[in-house]
Amino acid sequence: MTNTPLDLLPIDLPMEYDPSVGDVDYFYKNVTKHLIVDMVKLMTNGITVDFDKVKELEEVVVNVLATVATKLASNAIIEDFNSSAYPKKLAALKEEFEAKERTLDFYIKEYKDTMVHRTYAVNVYLKSIDSEHCCKGSWSVKELKGLNIILNDKFITRVINKDLTKDEKEAGMLELAKAKLDIYKKSLDEKLEKKVVHPIVFDSTNKEHIRLYNIFNIH
């Protein structure tokens, strides 16, 4: 057995020499066993870190990056992009998304006695009689029958009997169309926010930025 793992050096490449052949405990006896004390110390005490030095280095890095960002922002090539190309790209992106906008008419459909359509018709009515607290995410016929035991309401009766007037159906479908349009607009805004073109800002971790600046010799 060696005194320290360093005594094993130099040693042949593993592909050429396998010392465990004939001695399966070779690695433990000659390497691992010597490191046990140090490994236990590391596990119990950890590695000492000078946090004052880390903070000092962090401040240096932050200042350097701020200086780099300032110099790059005043570079002629980047200034030209941010003053001309950037507005054009932003306008083109907005035009692309404006073409995807929809109107309320797109979502207005004919009333059918489905749970969704029924629910919107009932909730619109409940709001109109100051009973918004009774509104629900969905209304089954069974639930409406239970509600009507309390309200004894002619509208609810017509809903149960599938006998709503044209105006009552249209009121519910209009509310549903507004909800769908609102969801679509929010989705479109989120997509636009993800794709929106921002003025160039140097990112020291972005390989594409670094490559671009090297190509144009921007320093």
- Please indicate, yes or no, if residue 211 is contained in any of the structural domains: no
- Please indicate, yes or no, if residue 83 is contained in any of the structural domains: no
pLDDT in tens, 142-162: 999 998 998 899 999 999 999
pLDDT in tens, 22-32: 788 888 888 88
- Please indicate, yes or no, if residue 37 is contained in any of the structural domains: yes
Choose the weakest-confidence range: 111-115, 148-152, 170-174, 179-183: 148-152
Per-residue pLDDT for 1 more than 70?
Answer: no
Distance between CA atoms of residues 140 and 144, nearest Å: 6
pLDDT in tens, 84-112: 777 887 788 888 888 888 999 999 999 99
Percent of residues, the chain, with pLDDT higher than 70: 89
pLDDT in tens, 39-54: 888 877 777 778 888 8
**109 shares its domain with 35:** no
| Mean pLDDT (the chain, rounded) | 84
- Please indicate, yes or no, if residue 90 is contained in any of the structural domains: no
- Please indicate, yes or no, if residue 146 is contained in any of the structural domains: yes
Kind and range of the H or E element at 92?
A: helix 86-98
Which amino acid belongs to residue 203?
D
Res 212: pLDDT: 64
Res 198: pLDDT: 65
Whether the model pTM is above 0.85: no
Q: Regarding predicted confidence, which is higher, 100 or 68?
A: 100
Res 114: pLDDT: 95
Res 7: pLDDT: 79
Place of tokens 């805004």: 189
Per-residue pLDDT for 204 more than 70?
Answer: no
- pLDDT-based confidence at residue 76 (cuts at 50, 70, 90): confident
Residue 16 belongs to what domain range? 5-45
**114 shares its domain with 182:** yes
Contact 202, 218 (CB under 8 A): no
- Please indicate, yes or no, if residue 58 is contained in any of the structural domains: no
- pLDDT-based confidence at residue 209 (cuts at 50, 70, 90): low
Contact 169, 100 (CB under 8 A): no
- Please indicate, yes or no, if residue 189 is contained in any of the structural domains: yes
Q: How far is CA 116 from CA 43, 172, 205, in A?
A: 60, 10, 49
Number of folded domains that form the chain: 2
- Please indicate, yes or no, if residue 200 is contained in any of the structural domains: no
